[in-house]
Amino acid sequence: MNKAVVVFSGGQDSTTCLIQALSEFDEVHCITFDYNQRHAEEIEVAKKVANTLGVSSHKIMDVGLLNELAISSLTRDNIAVSHELQDNGLPNTFVPGRNILFLTLAGIYAYQLGANTLITGVCETDFSGYPDCRDNFVKAMNNALVLGMDKALEIKTPLMWLNKAETWALADKFNKLDFVRENTLTCYNGLIGPGCGDCPACDLRQRGLDDYLADTGAVMAALESKTA
């Protein structure tokens, strides 16, 4: 049986990946990580979205230890989300080690389930400047997991080379644009759908949607050329 595990946050990107995976695999299992993040509402949103879309299973994993180690505006309520970069060139929403931990644990979960595919919605084209969203990082993690577990495992990143407009187009391709638009949580301040309209995540999401709706044909064609 063709099985996949989706690293799932309930946001636009991971939900779009999940929608695509459900059309490609016999079984799709989700894993969501609770690290006492700033917008804890995302756990409940992830549960609701996964249940609505009809996944094979949905595991919520407590990784609160990450919160103890990683200082970020997403792990500390007393640090405001900033639009400015820090001295190290990274946004203060970057959670160091997050995707290292998430992909490691998701890989172990895939091993347990007998799944050979692990899917994550990271993106290098239109992203927030996080080093653990880059293609070379994912490939390095993939190699480490294969070597460390002696198991065939492929980490797929369907959004890696898509911009946000093309990600909206991908949801629309599966007739789920309105579902993603209304039910996912991308906002750093924990507001579903269009969000707060002010944080960097909301800005990126809305700009992508505006760009897609301004010329759906051209954006869909660009998506098709990238995914052909």
Question: Annotated binding site, which residues?
Answer: 8-18, 187, 196, 199, 202
Binding annotation for Zn(2+): 187, 196, 199, 202
What DSSP assignment string belongs to 6-25?
EE--SSHHHHHHHHHHHHH-
Binding annotation for ATP: 8-18
Residue 228 class from Cβ within 10 Å (0-12 exposed, 13-18 middle, 19+ buried)? exposed
- In what helix (H) or strand (E) does residue 109 lie, and over which residues does it extend? helix 98-113
By the 8 A CB rule, do 36 and 179 touch?
no
By the 8 A CB rule, do 204 and 164 touch?
yes
